[in-house]
């Protein structure tokens, strides 16, 4: 009986262990299945993320790059986020700033063009305007250019061509003759101290014995002019040219002139040795 009981007990014990083993195996399978299901769900979440709604008030950081090139047809760029979504208007501040700079540059160029048109520096190859037919055009030198001064700006040309001011000792002194047309005029023996002749065109004019002391004669074209015995004492000659001018016995005392301009002046063969030494010509 004991053997039967022992055998039954042994048999009963084996069945209980099998049930426990089966129960634990099923629980492990369920846990593994749950873990695998969670991993599968995570993979689906990463592979197919839910759609993120686009903002209608500002552009998405990963949206199409804005077109920064100037657009003459519109002041803003329009981007469509989807076929059914309303357009998102993105204002291009850089584009507006660029347009403003372009407008300022255009205005500056127009202003520079207007100034250069009103105050021309007449080159040798340029044509001069027709001779003025005003009966008192030569007398205008006694008034001078009252608005332009050193810049050479004027309301109408100061045309002194072929006028005769020989030995004038009072009417020209200290006058402003900026941008004056003086070709063919005669100023021999005149007192032109402290005169301002910036940007004047004096090609072929005669200034024999003229006193230019303390005068401002910058950027004057003295090409082929007769300057024999002229006095340039403490005179500003920066930017002025003397191509083929007659400079015999001209006085250059304390003259203000740039180095490059001085080198050009020293190439004039009519300068005597004493005048070349006075100027410091090498």
Q: Which of 21-25, 64-68, 163-167, 253-257 is least confident?
A: 64-68
Tens-digit pLDDT profile for residues 113-142? 444 444 444 544 457 889 999 999 999 999
pLDDT at 128: 84
Q: Which residue would you say has higher pLDDT here, 52 or 153?
A: 153
Neighbours of 102 (CB within 10 A): 11
pTM for the model: 0.56
The chain-wide mean pLDDT, for the chain, equals 74
Domain ranges of the chain: 1-42, 140-282
Indicate if the pLDDT at residue 166 is higher than 50: yes
Highest mean pLDDT among 23-37, 95-109, 122-136, 205-219: 205-219
Can you give the three-state secondary structure of the chain, one letter per residue? CHHHHHHHHHHHHHHHHHHHHHHHHHHHHHHHHHHHHHHHHHHHHHHCCCCCCCCCCCCCCCCCCCCCCCCCCCCEEEECCCCCCCCEEEECHHHHHHHHHHHHHHHHHHHHHHHHHHCCCCCCCCCCCCCCCCCCCHHHHHCCCCCCHHHCCCCCCCECCCCECCCCCCCCCCCECCCCECCCCECCCCECCCCECCCCECCCCECCCCECCCCECCCCECCCCECCCCECCCCECCCCECCCCECCCCECCCCECCHHHHHHHCCCCCCCHHHHHHHCCC
Contacts for 126 with CB less than 8 Å, ≥ 6 apart: 120
């Amino acid at each position: 009986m004991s053997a039967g009981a022992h055998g039954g007990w042994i048999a009963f014990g084996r069945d209980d262990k099998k049930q426990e083993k089966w129960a634990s195996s099923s629980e492990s399978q369920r846990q593994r299945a749950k873990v695998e299901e969670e991993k599968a769900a995570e993979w689906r979440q990463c592979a197919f993320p839910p759609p993120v709604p686009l903002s209608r008030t500002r552009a998405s950081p990963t949206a199409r790059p804005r077109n920064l090139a100037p657009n003459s047809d519109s002041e803003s760029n329009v981007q469509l986020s989807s076929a059914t979504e309303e357009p998102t208007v993105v204002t291009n501040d850089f584009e507006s700033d660029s347009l403003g700079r372009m407008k300022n540059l255009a205005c500056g160029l127009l202003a520079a063009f207007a100034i250069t048109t009103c105050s021309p520096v007449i080159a040798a190859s340029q044509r001069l305007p027709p001779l003025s037919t005003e009966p008192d055009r030569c007398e205008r030198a006694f008034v001078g250019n009252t608005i332009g001064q050193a810049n050479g700006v004027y309301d109408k040309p100061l045309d002194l061509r072929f006028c005769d001011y020989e030995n004038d000792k009072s009417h020209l002194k200290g006058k402003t003759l900026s941008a004056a047309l003086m070709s063919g005029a005669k100023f021999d023996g005149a007192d032109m101290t402290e005169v301002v002749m910036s940007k004047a065109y004096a090609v072929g004019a005669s200034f024999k014995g003229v006193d230019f002391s303390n005068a401002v004669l910058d950027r004057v074209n003295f090409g082929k002019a007769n300057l024999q015995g002229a006095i340039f004492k403490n005179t500003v000659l920066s930017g002025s040219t003397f191509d083929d001018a007659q400079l015999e016995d001209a006085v250059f005392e304390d003259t203000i002139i740039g180095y490059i301009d001085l080198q050009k002046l020293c190439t004039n063969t009519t300068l005597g040795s004493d005048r070349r030494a006075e100027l410091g010509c090498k």
